């Protein structure tokens, strides 16, 4: 990993292979999935920058609302540009339904809040993006939903927590920022035995590197802000699920609470998807090379990257993911002072709390993205004061290696 086959087109394309959206491979879906041209036959996806729709007569308006006529009525419910994005992402994730949201956090919150009731119990991985742990631990508690956080990589801990009836399970794999890997099949089997719906945050891997539904996940959520846009332009998110979950829980929740994606942002995300395969493979290949260099530097206590043989769950990552993705976590021996020297010495890589950009970005999770957690909780999650999260961009790998090498030398002091 990364494997050669993931980075090059099929070896010998056949002229006889059947063609059509149902058989298209990921790289074709990225460019053409869901494409629905208007009568004007435009090449690129049309941008429908409109909130409402008009009716030729009062009878049609009535039919649109009583359900006898399916058509666009209001962009909080549906919009043609957003629909193309939803269909494309659904095909990539292998999910019957995709609903786009205004941000990744709108997707996470909607996927959970739509299904829980007071008295329910949620079990979640301990290693989560800061806002995800706030939604599960703090927000759900306001509505009488209890949460139990478990040791992310320990299947026995999951089994213990899921010995009791559970409404929903939530996890990220790889997790933000320490790239812990959850046994998707193992946790999904345990969760289903407990009656739970499994929600997987697939933001770090994208559907090209990992499809959680293939391992039993029920609902997949994305922060499209990260690799799907991939160029630091727009916020966006998505929830993917089956028809029943959408009809019973998600659809009504989104329609009436309105965390919808803006049509313009959906159009930007469509352009992002077109190049996702090229980008994510390059991000992964560069990250693997840099992770190997980082791991060998004397200032580094540990480097965490799913593609490194030294990652504690490397074999599991290989069985679930096609490549390691674009994020590396590294911990510097000299703690916070060393981490700050490292960040301040970077000349190409920017200091930023964002990730999933063409530009390489690095941050200090202890004092930024995960500042809200107590010191004890940070340490349990593997976030020490020397930890750096590094989102690998599309710059020349040798330029990045030189920049990182010089910053590591400075970090060593
Ligand atoms: C960034 C991120 C989110 C939140 O996404 P936004 O688009 O910023 O709301 C959720 N989960 C993970 C794993 C993330 O990295």
- Residue 157 has which token pair? 């801990």
pLDDT at res. 67 = 87
C-alpha 315 to ligand 1 mean position (Å) = 26
Q: Cβ(155)–Cβ(186) under 8 Å?
A: yes
CATH code of the domain containing 221: 3.40.640.10
Ligand 1 mutation pick, 104, 222, 224, max ligand atoms within 8 A of CB: 104
The residue nearest atom 2 of ligand 1, judged by CA position, is 223
C-alpha 327 to ligand 1 mean position (Å) = 14
Alpha-carbon gap, residue 193 to 166, rounded angstroms: 9
pLDDT at res. 2 = 43
C-alpha 97 to ligand 1 mean position (Å) = 20
pLDDT at res. 372 = 86
Same domain, 171 and 138: yes
Full domain range(s) for residue 403: 276-411
Q: Cβ(213)–Cβ(243) under 8 Å?
A: no
Place of tokens 């939604």: 135
Q: Which of 274, 298, 324 is the last residue of a domain?
A: 274
The residue nearest atom 8 of ligand 1, judged by CA position, is 104
Ligand 1 mutation pick, 177, 181, 219, 226, max ligand atoms within 8 A of CB: 226
- Which is nearest to 383 in space by CA: 395, 398, 368? 368
Same domain, 227 and 310: no
- Position 254 in a domain: yes
Same domain, 195 and 289: no
Q: Which of 220, 249, 274 is the last residue of a domain?
A: 274
Q: Which of 234, 249, 274 is the last residue of a domain?
A: 274
Ligand 1 atom with the smallest distance to the CA of 236 is: 7
- Position 2 in a domain: no
The residue nearest atom 4 of ligand 1, judged by CA position, is 104
C-alpha 104 to ligand 1 mean position (Å) = 5
Alpha-carbon gap, residue 220 to 93, rounded angstroms: 8
- Residue 256 has which token pair? 């009436």
- Position 1 in a domain: no
- Which is nearest to 133 in space by CA: 117, 114, 112? 112
CATH code of the domain containing 286: 3.90.1150.10
- Which is nearest to 365 in space by CA: 349, 350, 384? 384
Same domain, 99 and 154: yes
Alpha-carbon gap, residue 82 to 327, rounded angstroms: 28
- Which is nearest to 81 in space by CA: 210, 305, 234, 286? 234
- Position 5 in a domain: no
Same domain, 27 and 65: yes
- Position 34 in a domain: yes
What is the residue-level pLDDT of the chain in tens, covering all 413 positions? 444 444 344 456 666 666 678 899 999 999 999 999 999 999 999 999 999 999 999 999 999 999 899 999 999 999 999 999 999 999 999 999 999 999 999 999 999 999 999 999 999 999 999 999 999 999 999 999 999 999 999 999 999 999 999 999 999 999 999 999 999 999 999 999 999 999 999 999 999 999 999 999 999 999 999 999 999 999 999 999 999 999 999 999 999 999 999 999 999 999 999 999 999 999 999 999 999 999 999 999 999 999 999 999 999 999 999 999 999 999 999 999 999 999 999 999 999 999 999 999 999 999 999 998 899 999 999 999 999 999 999 999 999 999 999 999 999 97
Same domain, 215 and 290: no
Same domain, 357 and 265: no
Ligand 1 atom with the smallest distance to the CA of 128 is: 13
Ligand 1 mutation pick, 107, 129, 182, max ligand atoms within 8 A of CB: 129
Same domain, 281 and 352: yes
Place of tokens 């002091």: 413
- Residue 310 has which token pair? 């030294």
Alpha-carbon gap, residue 312 to 40, rounded angstroms: 54
pLDDT at res. 6 = 43
For the sheet containing 237-241, what is the strand order? 97-101, 237-241, 219-223, 197-201, 168-172, 121-125, 146-150
pLDDT at res. 13 = 61
- Position 177 in a domain: yes
pLDDT at res. 22 = 86
Ligand 1 atom with the smallest distance to the CA of 225 is: 7
Same domain, 248 and 301: no
Same domain, 254 and 290: no
- Position 4 in a domain: no
Number of domains in the chain: 2
Same domain, 240 and 281: no
The residue nearest atom 7 of ligand 1, judged by CA position, is 104
Same domain, 231 and 282: no
- Position 13 in a domain: no
Ligand 1 first shell, C-beta below 6 A: 103-105, 108, 129, 132, 172, 176, 201, 203-204, 223, 225-226, 235, 237
Q: Cβ(231)–Cβ(80) under 8 Å?
A: no
């Amino acid at each position: 990993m990364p494997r050669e086959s993931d980075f090059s087109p099929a070896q010998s394309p056949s002229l006889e292979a059947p063609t059509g959206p149902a058989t298209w491979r990921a790289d074709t879906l990225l460019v053409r999935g869901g494409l629905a041209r208007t009568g004007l036959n435009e090449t690129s996806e049309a941008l429908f920058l409109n909130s409402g729709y008009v009716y030729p007569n009062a009878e049609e308006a009535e039919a649109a609302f009583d359900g006898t006529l399916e058509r666009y009525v209001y962009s909080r419910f549906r919009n043609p540009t957003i629909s193309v994005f939803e269909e494309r992402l659904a095909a990539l994730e292998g999910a019957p339904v995709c609903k786009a949201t205004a941000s990744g956090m709108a997707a996470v919150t909607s996927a959970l809040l739509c299904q829980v009731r007071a008295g329910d119990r949620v079990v979640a991985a301990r290693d989560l993006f800061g806002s995800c742990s706030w939604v599960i631990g703090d927000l759900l508690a306001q509505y009488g939903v209890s949460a139990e956080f478990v040791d992310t990589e320990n299947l026995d801990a999951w089994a213990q927590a899921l010995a009791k009836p559970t409404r929903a399970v939530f996890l990220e794999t790889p997790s933000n920022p320490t790239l812990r890997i959850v046994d998707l099949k193992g946790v999904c089997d345990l969760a289903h035995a407990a009656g739970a719906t499994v929600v997987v945050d697939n933001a770090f891997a994208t559907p090209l590197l990992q499809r959680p539904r293939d391992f039993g996940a029920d609902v997949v959520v994305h922060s499209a802000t990260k690799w799907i846009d991939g160029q630091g332009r727009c916020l966006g998110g998505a929830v993917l699920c089956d028809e029943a979950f959408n009809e019973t829980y998600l659809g009504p929740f989104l329609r009436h609470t309105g965390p919808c994606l803006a049509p313009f942002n959906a159009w930007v995300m469509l352009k992002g998807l077109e190049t996702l395969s090229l980008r994510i493979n390059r991000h992964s290949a560069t990250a693997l090379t840099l992770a190997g260099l980082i791991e060998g530097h004397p200032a580094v206590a540990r480097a965490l990257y799913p593609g490194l043989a030294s990652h504690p769950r490397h074999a599991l990552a290989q069985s679930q993911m096609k490549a390691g993705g674009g994020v590396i976590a590294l911990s510097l021996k000299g703690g916070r002072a060393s981490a700050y020297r490292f960040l301040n010495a970077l000349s190409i890589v920017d200091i930023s709390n964002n990730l999933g950009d063409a530009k390489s970005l690095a941050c200090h999770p202890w004092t930024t993205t995960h500042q809200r957690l107590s010191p004890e909780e940070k340490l349990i999650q593997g976030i020490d004061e020397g930890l750096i999260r590094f989102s690998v961009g599309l710059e020349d790998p040798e330029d990045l290696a030189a920049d990182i090498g010089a910053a590591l030398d400075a970090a060593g002091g």
